[in-house]
Amino acid sequence: MVDKAIYIILSIFDAAAMLALMCKLYRLPILMYAKRMSILVLIIAVVSYLLRIRLSLPYFDLPMQYVIFVLFFRYIIKMRFHYAAFIVAAGFITFTNIQLLVYYFYTATGAANSTILAAVSGIAVYIVQISTEAVVFVLCFLLWRFGYGWSFIILPPHNFAKKEKYTGFNMELIVSTIISVVVIVATVVFLHDGNSFPLIILVFICFGVSYYLSKKGEMEP
């Protein structure tokens, strides 16, 4: 019972950290949507608990979280779909990068090993989760404090009456998002199998692509 409660609590903070990261990477306001975001992170935590703990369907956890986040940005925040999908994918990939770096730090110190990759409870799992969340929240604070982050995406709500052309840069965002989604699905498989080496290569490549496109977006007229 205690492990289940801890799982839900840490899942709430995980979702909140990912959401904050998505917003601060692209200079989106948080306080404006605070109530709706609070409901979102609770939904994410409950869905994660049901899929991983109650239904034993861990492979569906991250993909389902991705879908829920995208739907939130699209229909609650009122953001164009391809931007919503890109922001969420970039946030997931960045969060996974940070989590893997934290994991490798603890394995290097002997505080954790590869068995925790597929685990949902245990002291080592909690330490990695809490450390990742702390690093992400500090990063989000620094991005906010020093005004860093990408600003090429217009603050929502977006004007859906204006037709968007899905060519050029927009098409690049879509292709990048599809690749990131494939990596997110692969993340579940590699973590479940306890194999982190191919995963860290994939997520770093995806992070590089997201960074390149975000930088390019800043230079777009």
Sign of CA dihedral 3, 106, 139, 153: negative
- pLDDT for residue 159: 83
Q: How far apart are CA 91 and CA 166, in angstroms?
A: 22
DSSP 8-state assignment for residue 148: -
The predicted pLDDT at position 85 comes to: 94
**pLDDT attached to residue 3:** 79
Q: Tell me what pLDDT residue 160 has.
A: 81
Give the domain extent around 197: 2-155+163-219
Q: Mean pLDDT per segment of 10 residues, for the chain of length 221 residues?
A: 86 97 95 94 96 89 94 95 94 92 90 76 90 97 94 88 78 89 82 73 86 83 57
d(CA 218, CA 221): 8
Give the alpha-carbon dihedral of 21, 51, 130, 68, to 10 degrees.
10
pLDDT of 56: 87
**How many domains does the chain fold into?**
1
Whether this prediction's pTM lies above 0.75 is answered by yes
Backbone angles phi, psi at 195, to 5 degrees: -115, 100
Cis peptide before 157 (omega within 30 of 0): yes
